[in-house]
Amino acid sequence: MTKKLFFKAIIRFFLGLIFVSLCLFLPAGTLRYPNGLLFIVILFVPMFIVGIVMMILSTKLLAKRLNEKESEKEQKTVITLSGLMFIAAFVAAGLDFRFGWTPLPLWAVIAGVLIFFAAYIMYAEVLRENEYLSRTVEIQENQKVIDTGLYGIVRHPMYCATLFLFLSSGIVLGSLVSVAILLFYVPIIAYRMINEEKVLEEGLLGYTEYKKRVKYKVIPFVW
């Protein structure tokens, strides 16, 4: 573990924490936004733990997860759209709490928390299964097709995990408006996967055959 990587991870973590907090609590007009506080805890505490684990067991994987420099033009568009979506969803959730537009009941929030944790566990499992996993679309040296575990069920289990993470986030925040905004993640990842699979088919040996064996991209029997 290098000091540079450690400080980069710590700085990225706290900048993310501050940014999300500002997006939630400034529009809410108060720090007494229970759903916002709940979301901060369930998002950043597991994130911190996963980061520590990667820092100890796989600094190479951590470095990949911190890399956001996309070379593909299509993926840069995806990153921009995703960022705008998240800002809009968080700001809308804060405003929703402030003005009481579309509050969700407690049972829905509890269900959202359970879905969020289940998706987080799936996210961690994908990290464990795929040593080539990166935040950017690229072919890495000596990369091989992963077709076991979750990758034997769907071709993009990471997107499956993030889809449920993001959609449940709006529920945890107690805002139907936020949930509606986060639904835009569906066309965003659909667009990303088109480009990603094109890159993989062109540069990764065996990926075309893998696509024939594993029919579904994100959700079995659905998508």
Task: Note the pLDDT tens digit of each residue in 24-55.
Answer: 999 999 999 999 999 999 999 998 888 787 77
pLDDT of residue 223: 93
The CA distance from 91 to 111, in Å, is 22
Full domain range(s) for residue 40: 3-213
The mean per-residue pLDDT over the stretch 156-182 comes to 96
pLDDT of residue 61: 65
The CA distance from 209 to 213, in Å, is 7
| 3-state secondary structure (DSSP) of residue 22 | helix
User: Percent of the chain beyond pLDDT 90?
Assistant: 61
Burial 57-80, CB ≥16 within 10 A → b, else e = eeeebbbbbeeeebebeebeebbe
Task: Indicate if the pLDDT at residue 135 is higher than 60.
Answer: no
CA 134 to chain centre: 12
The CA distance from 61 to 119, in Å, is 20
Q: What is the domain count for the chain?
A: 1
pLDDT, tens digit (0-9, with 9 covering 90-100), for 172-218: 999 999 999 999 999 999 998 988 898 888 888 889 999 999 999 99
pLDDT, tens digit (0-9, with 9 covering 90-100), for 88-133: 999 999 999 999 999 999 999 999 999 999 999 998 888 888 776 6
Nearest to 188 by CA among 33, 88, 47, 80: 80
Task: Indicate if the pLDDT at residue 171 is higher than 90.
Answer: yes
**pLDDT bucket at 142, cuts 50 / 70 / 90:** low
pLDDT, tens digit (0-9, with 9 covering 90-100), for 66-93: 665 655 666 778 889 999 999 999 999 9
Q: Is residue 221 in some structural domain?
A: no
Angle formed by the axes of helices 185-203 and 157-172, to 10°?
Answer: 170
Identify the residue whose tokens are 């944790």.
Answer: 117
Q: Is residue 162 in some structural domain?
A: yes
Q: Is residue 222 in some structural domain?
A: no
Q: Pick 3 or 145 by higher pLDDT.
A: 145
Q: Pick 139 or 157 by higher pLDDT.
A: 157
Q: Is residue 220 in some structural domain?
A: no
Q: Is residue 218 in some structural domain?
A: no
pLDDT, tens digit (0-9, with 9 covering 90-100), for 48-67: 888 787 777 767 666 666 66
User: Could you say which DSSP state residue 63 is in?
Assistant: H
pLDDT of residue 22: 98
Q: Is residue 163 in some structural domain?
A: yes
Tell whether the torsion through CA atoms of 159, 75, 44 and 166 is positive or negative.
negative
Q: Is residue 49 in some structural domain?
A: yes
The enclosing domain of 81 has a CATH number of: 1.20.120.1630
pLDDT of residue 205: 86
For 154, the token pair is: 């769907």
pTM of the model as a whole: 0.88
